[in-house]
Amino acid sequence: MRIITGPEKQKTVATEASFKGIGLHTGSKCTLTFKPAPADHGVTFIRTDLPGKPVLHADSAHVTSVIRGTTLSEGGDKDAAAKVHTVEHVLSALAGLGLDNMVIELDANEPPVADGSSYPFIETLRKAGLRELDAPRRFFQPDRMEYVGGETGTLYLVEPSDDYSVDVTIDFPHPLIGRQSLVSAVTPETYVADFSRARTFCFDFEVEALKRQGLAKGGSLDNAVVVGADRIHNREKVLRFPDEFVRHKAMDLVGDLFLLGMPLKAKITAVRVGHGYNVNLVKKIAEQLEACRASTPV
C-alpha cells in the first residue's frame, strides 16, 4: 500500500452552481449549491437551514445510516440534528469528474433526487466549469484484500492497480433483472458514458413498505425505475440501458468509495453490492490508508 502523488492537479468547481428539487426519501424541497474550495479541503456539506450552519465532512467516519442510501451526520453522531441523507449520487458525480475539493451548501436535509441518476449534477458542474488548483493530486493504492459481507453472497475484492476501475455484478431473482455485470474504468469519459445516466430503482411491492418506514416520500416515476412483475414503470417507459440496474449499482459504489477522502489506484470487484457493505469496505480501505500515513515519514 502506498500514497502516490500524481502529475495532475487537484480540482474544484470554477464558479458557484445550484440545483433545485426534492429529496428521494424525505420529500424535502432542497436547493443544493456547489462552491469552490481550496486544495486539500476535501468535500464538506453545510446545512444552511440550521442554526450555526453545521458542517458535515464527506468521509466514512461520518456515516450513520445506510438504509436505502448513505447518510452523514455532524460529528458522526447518529443522534445529531444535522444530517444529510442520500449523498451517494452527488458524491458519485464528483468522483466521476475527478473533483477533489468542494463546499456543498443545502437548505434541507437531503439533496435533490433529480431524475434518479447523477447526470443532472454532472451537467450542473460542467456548466459551472472545473478549475485546477495549485496542488498535486494524491492517490491511495491499497494492498490486495477481500471482504465478505454476511451470508448474502456479497463479496468485494480490492487489488492494487495503476488506474481506477470497477467490476460490479448484481443478481436478482427477477426475470427483468437477473444477473448483470459491468466492467469499466472510472475516468470522466467512461463515468459519464457508462454510469451517470443510470437511475435508482425499486420493486413495486416495496413501495408501500418503504413509505411505512418513512422513506421514498419524494419518489415517483419521474425519478426512479419501478420494477413490476412483468414490466418496467417509469416516465420514459423504457430503460436507458438494457443493464441499467447494474450500472446504477456501480454508480452508487463509486459514490460510496468517494468517502475514503482520496482517489484510488485500484480495481474493485464487487458482487451483490449495497450501501452498508460499500461503506464497510471503505472503512477497511481507510484502515490501510491510516496505517500508510502513520508509517510514512513527514
For helices 88-97 and 119-128, give the axis angle rounded to 10 degrees. Answer: 50
* Alpha-carbon torsion (149, 152, 155, 156), positive or negative: negative
233 is catalytic: no
Residue 218: how many CA atoms within 13 Å on its side-chain side? 22
Burial status of residue 50 (CB atoms within 10 A of its CB: 0-12, 13-18, 19 or more):
middle
CB 88 within 8 A of CB 276: no
Residues 6+ apart with CB under 8 A from 184: 165, 166, 190, 194, 195, 250
Q: Which three cell numbers stand for residue 95?
A: 468522483
Of the listed 25, 89, 248, 275, which one is catalytic?
A: 275
Residues assigned a catalytic role: 275
